[in-house]
Chains A and B, each alone.
Chain A
Amino acid sequence: MTAAEVREHIDPIRHEYADPRSLVLPALKFAQTRDGYLSEENLEAVAEATGYSRAYVESVASFYDRLYLTPVGDRVVSVCVTLSCMLRGSDEIMAALAEHLDVGPHGGTSPDGRITLQESQCLGACDKGACIQVDAENTVGPLTPAEAVALVDELREAETPAERWR
């Protein structure tokens, strides 16, 4: 990704942000949506387009869980592990998915590179607890561990959308 491409995206929305620093986030989101994660090159492009230092842009990106500084799987599955979901069995869901995907107990990317599993703080869907979120868009629940495994298998088979916000 080049700075020009980032600029093309943020120039039309620049006026919506009173503090120009706030533009760093939509710029990062744009880069990640297209390229899947924020490579060094992407961070540099965002820094150049927004006029902030590379270190500052990386510091913003590293603050947020949903901005990835390393490559992730085609789809990202986030299991809510905050109180309501935990009481409704998220620990078991996490354990079942981790075993099924052959990743560590706190998540990781499956060996086939299709799915990244991660723990998430409250997704704001306590009424659906225990819930999981597919990419950053679709929150599903309540689920049992078996239903969660079935959902992930379905995702594995499904076609991956070209551009997605995870």
Chain B
Amino acid sequence: MSDAPAPKPPPTDLVRFTLNGRHVYAKPGSMLVDAAAEVGVEIPVFCYEPRLGGPIGACRMCLVEVEGMRGLQTACSTPVAPEMVVHTDNAAAKDAQDGVLELLLANHPLDCPVCDKGGECPLQNHTMKFGPGRTRFVEPKRHFPKPLNLSTVVALDRERCITCFRCVRFSQDVAEDGQLTFQERGAGTEVATFTGEPYEGRFTGNIIDLCPVGALTSIPYRFVSRPWDIKNTPSICGTCPAGCNVDITQRDGEIKRVTGRAEPNYAVEEGWICDRGRWGYPAAWSAGRITNALVRGEDGLLHEVPLEEAVDRAAFILQRSAATGVLVGTDATVEDGHLSAKLAEALAGGRVGRLGIPDRPHLTALRNLPRAELGEIDQADVVAVVGGDLGNQHPIVELRLRKLLRRRGTLLVAGVRPQMIAPRATESVRTAPGRLVDALDAVERVLESGSRPILIWDEADLANDDAAAARLAATAEAAGARVIELSAHVNAHGLRALGLPTGNILDDIEAKRVATLLAVHADPTEFAGSTEWDAALDQLNDIIVVATHRSHITERADVVLPALMKQEIEGVLVSMTGRAQRLRPGSDGPEGAAAAWEILIGLSHRVGKPFPWRTPAQTFASVAAGYPAFAGLTYQAIGTEGAPIGDADVIPVDDTDPPRPLGEGLPLVLTTEIFGDATSWRSDALASLRQQAGLRLSPGEARRQTVTDGDVVVVASPHGSCALTVSVDERLPDGAAFVMTGPPGAGTHALLGADFGPVNVRIGA
């Protein structure tokens, strides 16, 4: 024993207690269940879930014996105390665990062989580990018609429910939609909505992840796979710039399911994800998915060819071209962006640019302020949201803000759109389009009032509001606020950090400086400035497109190289808070397609300027070596949780004139609703939730324009026009035309210019 290491001196800030005969230490105030887990002792739980709020002790699974306390205690709601003596495995505790499980199972159908949860079910696991081997219950069990569709995506098997309250607490206390409750009582208790109406919301899928039994299951995943047939891969959602961490479930190389991370990333999404992120994956096999390479033949039509042949053809075109523009889209990874830039360097007269909002000088001032992660909202006491529509466009942020309000923090919401959290907010200021400056007195007052303030600002809105942005940056700096940017596009932060400019490729095409376009995950015909782009594309000699889905640009391309989607590739996306996170392939994707990085490396070889990198990891190492923002980062350092990138040297656009609205009529406010984006429209799982394109007006404005609900009108800006159906919405203010973008091809992007500048629109028949 003499060579045993000397016992560590007891940590002074911890509480010592006895657990199953061992002296152990725990943080003061921690609950027994956590304190035990900390030292490797599992106490089974069903209802305990700290992300839902304080413990409620509903399921009784965690009963333990505490010497000196009468009866057994629930470990989830009993805090450790000095010199407490706790037993989790003595006869009394074992008897309680047996008893609780036997009672929970008394009315449980034990239909595990046909249950989706079977194999990854806490009830099953706890029963095997802690419960009685056999049941003594011989009476008839309760029966319900099964399953009940709680919505088009969530199924409810009421027989399997153990009434742990997790889903109800999520609905009431996290999403705060108030829709789920328990009805009836005793053995008849069931999860239900008001008069059985569907459970509809933006975060409903999380109740499936939370359910510790098979009562709540995903309809798109119903009977699809068994836990022993699947592989879960930690990846990133990548549908919006928030960068939620997800697990992708695959079976036989095909994506079957997306769930919140089993190990939540508390810096980002806290394990919650929105329904669009959860059920957007079927977009991978939607009708428009490009599964084979296409080359335009002598007959002027696109023909399927093997990928190799198409890449050869593309390389031939690029080599022949005297001036090529490489356009990087908003969904491209950091590696795609880097390789695109390098390919442009390698090509004669090559140049690279990205789609996105121009980096106006005052935005750089806001971006240079100290950044906060989403998780840091939990430490803030005041938060001001300026512009945007985060409930639709960055939904997960809303859950953090609701949490802020529940712990009595202060939330100010300012902007032109009716924000979904506004009714709950401490203060809400509605501004006219382009007049965020009117809200800044309130913003300043609120930020100054806090000791740990956070400013959340919207890229698209502030890009068009120089005066507000300049003052906002100064206000935030003076208040010592940290900032979170609501980016408009998925990897905007990452591509900006690579120094890729915006707007240049379009200018170059128009000035005839570019004759060949290589579009990498970029479809400018479904983007701001689509009218101008349409004309520009006509001037090109050749168009080569690396894309996942058919669109206007693939129809006009000479070569279409089918790319893998974000859930099928390796790569790095930088979230809007500046966090580099890794995509990992959770699916093989179509056989005829390849990752954009692979296509770009292949092109480099075929044009005779081979890149020295063969993998995304090697490519990323070159990014880390070449750009100060990525210095020191590697795939390993990013890991599964991500790592913040440094500040980028952004060269703002050379434009000091404040953006002025073009055209006459009503100011245009363009919004993408949560289920009104391309992903939702491509995913059949979200078919019943999809939101249409449309024009929304306040009742007063509708009268002034002499239009009414259901009218189809032509909305025209100086850039272009599109036909939209009117709906009257009394939550909206007069004096603005609210346009919802809707499905791909709806044409709403034609209303904007390529610089995303403010426009006014006319409404006509």
Interface string of A51-76 (1 = CB under 8 A from B): 01111101100110000000000000
Chain A CB within 8 A of B706 CB: no
Instruction: Provide the bound-state CA to CA distance between A56 and B169, in Å.
Output: 12
Inter-chain contacts of A59 with B (CB < 8 A): 181-183, 192
| Contact A63-B178, Cβ < 8 Å, known A40-B195, A43-B194, A54-B194 | no
Question: Is B195 in contact with A53, judged by CB distance below 8 angstroms?
Answer: no
Question: Is A62 in contact with B184, judged by CB distance below 8 angstroms?
Answer: yes
Instruction: Provide the bound-state CA to CA distance between A148 and B118, in Å.
Output: 52
CB distance from A46 to the nearest CB of B (A): 12
User: For chain B residues 134-182, which have a beta carbon within 8 Å of chain A?
Assistant: 172, 178-182
| Contact A55-B180, Cβ < 8 Å, known A40-B195, A43-B194 | yes
CB distance from A91 to the nearest CB of B (A): 20
Instruction: Select the residue from A40, A43, A53, A54 with max chain B CB neighbours within 10 A.
Output: A53
Inter-chain contacts of A54 with B (CB < 8 A): 178, 194
Inter-chain contacts of A53 with B (CB < 8 A): 172, 178-179, 181, 194
Inter-chain contacts of B183 with A (CB < 8 A): 58-59, 62-63
Question: Is B184 in contact with A55, judged by CB distance below 8 angstroms?
Answer: no
Inter-chain contacts of A63 with B (CB < 8 A): 183-185
User: For chain A residues 55-114, which have a beta carbon within 8 Å of chain B?
Assistant: 55-56, 58-59, 62-63
Inter-chain contacts of B178 with A (CB < 8 A): 52-56
| Contact A58-B185, Cβ < 8 Å, known A53-B178, A53-B179 | no
| Contact A55-B179, Cβ < 8 Å, known A40-B195, A43-B194 | yes
Chain A CB within 8 A of B640 CB: no
Interface string of B448-484 (1 = CB under 8 A from A): 0000000000000000000000000000000000000
User: For chain B residues 177-209, which have a beta carbon within 8 Å of chain A?
Assistant: 178-185, 192-195
Question: Is B193 in contact with A55, judged by CB distance below 8 angstroms?
Answer: yes
Nearest A residue to B178 by beta-carbon distance?
A53
Instruction: Provide the bound-state CA to CA distance between A40 and B193, in Å.
Output: 13
Instruction: Provide the bound-state CA to CA distance between A63 and B189, in Å.
Output: 9
Number of A interface residues at 8 Å Cβ cutoff, please give it: 11
Inter-chain contacts of B193 with A (CB < 8 A): 55
Question: Is B185 in contact with A55, judged by CB distance below 8 angstroms?
Answer: no
Majority SS at the chain A contact face: helix
Nearest A residue to B186 by beta-carbon distance?
A63
Nearest B residue to A56 by beta-carbon distance?
B181
Instruction: Provide the bound-state CA to CA distance between A58 and B182, in Å.
Output: 9
Inter-chain contacts of B195 with A (CB < 8 A): 40, 43, 58
Inter-chain contacts of B185 with A (CB < 8 A): 62-63
User: For chain A residues 1-46, which have a beta carbon within 8 Å of chain B?
Assistant: 40, 43
CB distance from A56 to the nearest CB of B (A): 6
Question: Is B184 in contact with A58, judged by CB distance below 8 angstroms?
Answer: no
Instruction: Provide the bound-state CA to CA distance between A52 and B179, in Å.
Output: 11
Inter-chain contacts of B194 with A (CB < 8 A): 43, 53-55, 58
CB distance from A50 to the nearest CB of B (A): 13
User: For chain B residues 552-599, which have a beta carbon within 8 Å of chain A?
Assistant: none
Instruction: Provide the bound-state CA to CA distance between A121 and B660, in Å.
Output: 74
Instruction: Provide the bound-state CA to CA distance between A53 and B175, in Å.
Output: 13
Instruction: Provide the bound-state CA to CA distance between A55 and B180, in Å.
Output: 7
Nearest B residue to A57 by beta-carbon distance?
B194
CB distance from A142 to the nearest CB of B (A): 29
Inter-chain contacts of B184 with A (CB < 8 A): 62-63
Instruction: Provide the bound-state CA to CA distance between A47 and B361, in Å.
Output: 50
Nearest A residue to B177 by beta-carbon distance?
A53
Inter-chain contacts of B192 with A (CB < 8 A): 55, 58-59
Instruction: Provide the bound-state CA to CA distance between A63 and B182, in Å.
Output: 9
Nearest B residue to A58 by beta-carbon distance?
B194
CB distance from B232 to the nearest CB of A (A): 33
Instruction: Provide the bound-state CA to CA distance between A56 and B195, in Å.
Output: 11
Instruction: Select the residue from A54, A55, A56, A59 with max chain B CB neighbours within 10 A.
Output: A55
Instruction: Provide the bound-state CA to CA distance between A5 and B379, in Å.
Output: 43
Instruction: Provide the bound-state CA to CA distance between A109 and B216, in Å.
Output: 35
CB distance from A150 to the nearest CB of B (A): 34
CB distance from B585 to the nearest CB of A (A): 41
Instruction: Provide the bound-state CA to CA distance between A54 and B180, in Å.
Output: 10
CB distance from B326 to the nearest CB of A (A): 52
CB distance from A147 to the nearest CB of B (A): 32
Nearest B residue to A64 by beta-carbon distance?
B185
Inter-chain contacts of B181 with A (CB < 8 A): 53, 55-56, 58-59
Instruction: Provide the bound-state CA to CA distance between A43 and B194, in Å.
Output: 9
Instruction: Select the residue from B172, B178, B181, B195 with max chain A CB neighbours within 10 A.
Output: B181
CB distance from B148 to the nearest CB of A (A): 15
Instruction: Provide the bound-state CA to CA distance between A52 and B176, in Å.
Output: 12
CB distance from A126 to the nearest CB of B (A): 22
Nearest A residue to B196 by beta-carbon distance?
A58
Nearest A residue to B193 by beta-carbon distance?
A55
Q: What 12 additional pairs, Cβ within 8 angstroms, besides A53-B179, A53-B181, A55-B178?
A: A43-B195, A53-B172, A54-B194, A55-B179, A55-B194, A56-B178, A56-B181, A58-B181, A59-B183, A59-B192, A63-B184, A63-B185
23 A/B residue pairs, CB under 8 Å, sorted by A: A40-B195, A43-B194, A43-B195, A53-B178, A53-B181, A53-B194, A55-B178, A55-B179, A55-B180, A55-B181, A55-B192, A55-B193, A55-B194, A58-B183, A58-B192, A58-B195, A59-B181, A59-B182, A62-B183, A62-B184, A63-B183, A63-B184, A63-B185
The 3 closest A-B pairs by CB, nearest first: A53-B178, A59-B181, A62-B183
Interface residues, chain A, with chain B CB atoms under 8 Å away: 40, 43, 52-56, 58-59, 62-63
